[in-house]
Amino acid sequence: MSKSTDPLQQIYRIIIGLIIIGFVYVIWPYIATVVVMLVFAFLFTTILLPGVDNLERKIKSRGLSVLIMTIIVIAVISVFLGGFTSGLVKQAKEFSSQLNQDDYISDLNSFAEKAVNSLPEFVRDIIPRTGNMADKLQGQVSGILQNLLSFAGAVGSFLFTVVMVIIFTVIILYGYYHFRKSLVRFIPNKYFEIGLRLIFNIERSVSSYLRGQLLAATSVAILSIIGLFILNAFGANLTLVVFIGIIAGLANLIPLVGPFVGMAPAILIAFMNNLGNDIALGHKLFGVVPSPFFIPDIILMFLIVQQIDNNYITPKVVGQSVGLHPILVMIALLIGGTLLGPLGMLFAVPTAGVIKVVGQEIAFVSRNAHLL
């Protein structure tokens, strides 16, 4: 190829590139949902792939392995969500019926009174005295129930997304190695081996990170459940213990913010269950520190679980698989949170990990460009 055509070719490439960017920009609103579904499907595939490979090793059929794995995952999620929803509804009903009882109303009002009276006088004057706290709470609860109806509509579209993600995941899991081979076919000879290396490294990094995180989340969930049972043994009167533990484990997947989110349901339930119980209100942590409704106990328990997780579990199971600097983790979380909310925070670190691996490979290629 003569050199005189190079500038023309470059202009041609730039024009083609601009057309592609413009096209993607125009069609993005229509394909965004599908792309997000595919990203989720890819992440689930990465988590489930070793399990499917192991099953295939035993039963010698890829299709059957994918089917069994899908049934197991759907069953586990259904049991969890079913149990959690029914437990939550039961809890809400109990709380709602408690609000209708006069004793409970007076307890709540006296608690509100006590809380206000314990404040310094200048703060007390600022708080408007609008009477019955129980009435207000009851109004809030019925408001929440009305909101549930509009929530049902959102659940419908969410279920559609879930079904689509499951279908995509099954298809990718079944033909994973075939898809990878087809993808590799498009890499030009010059970049072929480096491309293979890149795909392999990304696969390895993301899958070890995700599996490590899942193991760490499971450990946090189990430790939290044990901790909550211990608190119950001391009279904390917590219900939905298993679900609180699982939520704490899942929340733990979001670095930095997650552990605090994980505490919230436990504190809320401790407050709801123990309202009106003078023993719980006057409880003291280690017999010294005032701990109304066992809330400081719960916070301390979660802090201990966090310490065990941060110092012993996560370093072992997640290790240096992504190895990002804490500042980079924070920046990734902020960007993820701004772009996609909690989901963005969940995927921020693995995405940053993928970008890091790609960056390392590009740096490697540019250092060794003479080898291509």
Partner 1 sequence: MENAFWGNIFQGWRREESPTVLTLKQVPIFEGFSDKRYREIEKLIHERIYKPNEYVFKKKAPGVGMYIILSGKVEIFIEEADGKKQTLVELEEGDFFGELSLLDEEVRSASAIAKDHSTLLGFFRPDLFSLLERNPELGNKILLNLARVIGARLRKTNELLAESQAAK
CB nearer to partner 1: give 64 or 339. Answer: 64
Residue from the set 154, 233, 327, 371 that interacts with partner 1 by CB under 8 A: 371
Token pair belonging to 166: 């499951």
* 61 near partner 1, judged by CB under 8 A: no
CB nearer to partner 1: give 3 or 57. Answer: 57
CB 225 within 8 A of CB 245: yes
Stretch touching partner 1 by CB under 8 A, among 6-14, 49-57, 116-124, 237-245: 49-57
DSSP H stretches of helix in the chain: 6-59, 62-100, 102-117, 121-126, 133-174, 176-185, 192-233, 241-251, 258-274, 278-281, 295-308, 314-317, 326-340, 342-367
Report the first-to-last Cα separation within the chain, whole angstroms.
19
* 366 near partner 1, judged by CB under 8 A: no
Rounded to a whole number of angstroms, the minimum distance from the CB of residue 322 to partner 1 is: 20
* 56 near partner 1, judged by CB under 8 A: yes
CB nearer to partner 1: give 306 or 321. Answer: 321
* 59 near partner 1, judged by CB under 8 A: no
Stretch touching partner 1 by CB under 8 A, among 46-54, 133-141, 213-221, 340-348: 46-54
Q: 285: part of which helix (H) or strand (E)? A: strand 284-285
| Contacts to partner 1 from residues 146-205, by CB under 8 A | 177-178, 181, 184-185, 189-190, 192-194, 196-197, 199-200, 203
Sign (positive/negative) of CA torsion 234, 236, 239, 243?
negative
DSSP for 103-159, please give it.
HHHHHHHHHHHHHHHTS-HHHHHHS---S-HHHHHHHHHHHHHHHHHHHHHHHHHHH
* 145 near partner 1, judged by CB under 8 A: no
DSSP for 148-171, please give it.
HHHHHHHHHHHHHHHHHHHHHHHH
CB nearer to partner 1: give 327 or 369. Answer: 369
Token pair belonging to 162: 């879930």
Site size for partner 1, by CB under 8 A? 24
CB nearer to partner 1: give 135 or 203. Answer: 203
349: burial class by Cβ within 10 Å (0-12, 13-18, 19+)?
A: buried
Cα distance between residue 189 and residue 170, in whole Å: 31
CB 302 within 8 A of CB 248: yes
Rounded to a whole number of angstroms, the minimum distance from the CB of residue 193 to partner 1 is: 5
Rounded to a whole number of angstroms, the minimum distance from the CB of residue 50 to partner 1 is: 7
Cα distance between residue 229 and residue 297, in whole Å: 12
CB nearer to partner 1: give 154 or 371. Answer: 371
Rounded to a whole number of angstroms, the minimum distance from the CB of residue 371 to partner 1 is: 4
Rounded to a whole number of angstroms, the minimum distance from the CB of residue 68 to partner 1 is: 15
CB nearer to partner 1: give 56 or 135. Answer: 56
Rounded to a whole number of angstroms, the minimum distance from the CB of residue 43 to partner 1 is: 19
* 53 near partner 1, judged by CB under 8 A: yes
CB nearer to partner 1: give 208 or 273. Answer: 208
- Residue 358's CB is within 10 A of a number of other CB atoms, namely 14
DSSP for 302-317, please give it.
HHHHHHHIIIIIHHHH
3-state secondary structure of 179: helix
Rounded to a whole number of angstroms, the minimum distance from the CB of residue 66 to partner 1 is: 12
Task: Give me the residues that bind partner 1 (CB under 8 A), please.
Answer: 50, 53-54, 56-57, 177-178, 181, 184-185, 189-190, 192-194, 196-197, 199-200, 203, 368, 370-372
